[in-house]
Every structure is written in structure tokens, then in C-alpha cells.
Structure 1
Amino acid sequence: MLLTVLGCSGSAPGPRAASSGYLLEADGFLLGIELGNGTLAELQAVRDPFALDALLLSHLHPDHCADFSALTVLRRYHPAPSRDPRTHRLPVYASREAPERLVAAYCPAATDRAREDLGDVFEFHRLADGIVHIGPFEVTAAAAAHPCESYSFRIVYNGHSIVYTGDTGPSPAITKLAKGVDVVLAEASWTHAEDRPPDLHLSGVEAGRLAHAAGAGRLLVTHVPPWTDRTAVLAEARTEFSGTAHLVGQGESFEI
């Protein structure tokens, strides 16, 4: 598998830094994971956006899905798409409210929303705990510890595996999901403190603990907000995880 980082700024985009967005590719299949603020521009810089074979959204906070409206415009109105978006509707795997919420983001007026479902260029699939097959990938979704319906993912291809935490606080579910994984792609939104709000985000310490408990081969730290000290978060993670820990950067790629 090849993982490419379109954006990794947590909670909001930063200066010249897109929010959450990733590409995962194997066997000629291109899976988008998240499409936060600024990621569609980055996608167009590295790949043909019509080459996306599916899109996976962990949850519906804007830093993970805000560019979906722009993708809708591109798929509907591009004059010369490389693949007809109406005969190749993009499968979108997302939470229960995704069709309604994403329509509302695209159509602010209630009268327009009543006539809209985005079904001409997208095909929505509801996520739930359990396994779904997306192209060559086996994706196990597990409910994350976050204020809205949100999921973490374990993605397996040809015996290789990656866990993407999405946004989550520490939980037995994410610990179980990550057990024995090759790579943990973990959000770490702040440095560690005992008075951090529960069921929201991981600290650098908690991201490191997760990778250690999993016995992971590598830890990739992501989703650090622009107001958080990235080097401090990484240093925390390394105190808890003795394997390779790396702070991901926009535009980087990793073989898994």
C-alpha cells in the first residue's frame, strides 16, 4: 500500500497547510480518506481527482469533509472529466447523516435541499462497526470516542495493515483495533495533561501508548493543530513508543 498525505493540520487548516486528507493506493485502486479544508487543491496537484475509486470519511467535522462540496462542483461541472462521474458515481462510505449533512453544506437554501440528493455523481454507503470491503481493501470500522458519530479504521491489503485513528480519545475499541498492526496513523491534537477533555482527542503521550500497546511497527503522528507545538507532540509520543515514530508532513508518501 502507498499512503500519501494531502493534509494533516488538525481541527483547522494552518498557514499553507490543509486539514485532514489522505490517499491509500493498492492494486491500482485509489481510496481517499477524509477531504478536509484545502485537500481538494492538494489532490489536484498530485493526482487526477476523477481517478478516485472511493472516499472514506471518519466523521463530518469540517476539517475532515469540508472540501466535499467543492468535489461535488468539480464532478458535476468539469467540462472534460477523465472518467464520466455520472456513469462512474463515486462510492462514499460515511456516517448515517452524511447524505443529509453533505447536501446541506452544498445547498444552503432549504428549497434547494428539498430537491437535492447528490446521487447523480455519488453513491452513499452507511458505515457501522464491522468489516466492509472497498476495492482490494478490507476495512474494519470501530466507533471512536468523539462527540459525534465517528469511526476509526483498520485497513488491510495483502497481509499488510494500517490503523487510522480518525479523531478519538483513548478507548478499548481503538486499542483492540490497533492490535498487531503494521502502522498506526494516529491523531495527536495536544500535549498531555490530566485535565484534557475526555472522549475528544489523543495527546502525543496517548498516541505513543496506543502504538506501544498495539506492537506496531511504525507510528505516524498526524492531525496536529496549527496552535500546537508539533515537535513537543512528537517528543511525547517517542517517550511511550520505542519503535519508529514520525510526524507526517503534507505531500509525504509512505509504503506500508
Structure 2
Amino acid sequence: MPFLHILLLALLQGMTEFLPISSSAHLILLPMLADWQDQGLAFDVAVHVGTLSAIVFYFRGQLKSLILDWTNSVLKQRHIGDSRLAWAVGIATIPVGIAGLFFNDAIEFMLRNPLVIATTTIVFGILLGLADWWGKRRRDEHQLRWLDIIIIGCAQALALIPGTSRSGITMTAGLMLGLTRQAAARFSFLLSIPVILLAGGLKTVQLVVADSPTDWMVLFSGALFSAISAYLCVVIFMKMLDHIGMWPFVVYRLILGGVLFWLFL
């Protein structure tokens, strides 16, 4: 891969993975619009490893607490500290895991096209705006009820459809259920850790089975650039979220969807 392709794709993955604008849509669209050769499965794995390492580093302190408290809660059979939040992350991951197992190949084959992306970009962008407008924003992630957790988990499963945005749909569901913007974003980011692990694991298995040649320098560069851009993006997003809200991303999604309809209809 040319270095410019590596840099732009990795930066794009890092910047869009945690924003409510769909990283998968952008990674599909950039090579398509620029007439580049597909980046390949190995590169997809590498940039996902980069974004995963970024979010783990960002939540490094809380993740240690979540793991320890969850382990103690299993041993003592009662909630301890942040164990309830750890259980919430695990339970909310189940729907997307099941959906990915049964429908991922069909979705990849049937729905990976610009008009689907344009539609989902606009529809779920409008829902994000409405949730940000109507949401009561009174609770944090520690106050989620079990039904709330299941609803957010089921919403996350919709993100298998290109253009939906995993972070966007989970933040939308969180805001509709009364979470603050910060809480909806934090819970969405925590949910990304097992999801990226599952997706990356699946792609890694596919990569091993394919037994294709590997350019390790390309993969390392992609992982590094995506990690740096993802971490900086999360830091800036969390600092600015309460000031700007979700509407800049809603407007961006509407413009992007409109441009895609104009180009491909």
C-alpha cells in the first residue's frame, strides 16, 4: 500500500471509530470514491487493534477497577464497587455478538453499498439529533436499569448495518433513556472494547484461514496512526461534548448522506 493510503485510512479509522458518524461507512467510501484498491483484511485488523489500544489506554484506570470488582462480585456473589457496570457492558454486548455470528456475512454481502450507507447515515443521524434534543439527560451510566442495558445492547446490534455507527446508535439509545451526554458517550466507549475484540478476533480468524502474505510494516504503521488519532479524538470529543452537543455530527451525517445520494442515484 502507498504510504498516503496507509496514513489516510488509519487516521480516518481512528477519527471515526468513536464519533457518531460510522467508521465502517468511511472506510468503505474512501477507497470507493478515490478509486483505490481495497485495503484488505489484514489492514482492517491492524487499524482495529490501534483503536482498541487507544480506548483501553484512555479507560486504563477504570478498566482495572471494573475487572477487579467484577472478579470479586463473581467470587462473593454480590455487587461490589463497579461490578454492576462491568456486568452491564458484558450483557449489552450479547445482542451484537449473536447478530454478528448469524448475520455478519449476509450484511457484508448485501448491504455494503453507497445507497444503504446514505440511507442509514441520514436516518440514524436524525434519530441522534432527536435523542439529543428530547433526552432528559439526568442519569449516568451507573444508574442504568437492566432493561435499559438490554435496549442499548439491541440498538448496538443495528450497527452491523454499514452507515449506522456503533457509537452513534448506542449514544442515541443512551440519550433517549435519560443518560447525560457524557454518560452516554462513556458507556458507548466502554461497550466498544468487547465489540472491537470480537470483530478483531473474527477478522483475525479469517485472516489466518486465508493464509495471505503479510507486510508487517504496513500493519504496524496502520495500527500506530489509528491509535494516535483515536486517542486524541476521544480526548477532544469528551472535552467538547457538553459545549457542542450532537448536532454538529447530525448536520455532518445529513450532508454526507445527501452527497452520497447525489453521487450514486
Name the TM-score class by shorter chain: under 0.3
Q: Higher RCO, 1 or 2 (CA under 8 Å, sep at least 6)?
A: 2
Higher helix share: 2
Higher strand share: 1
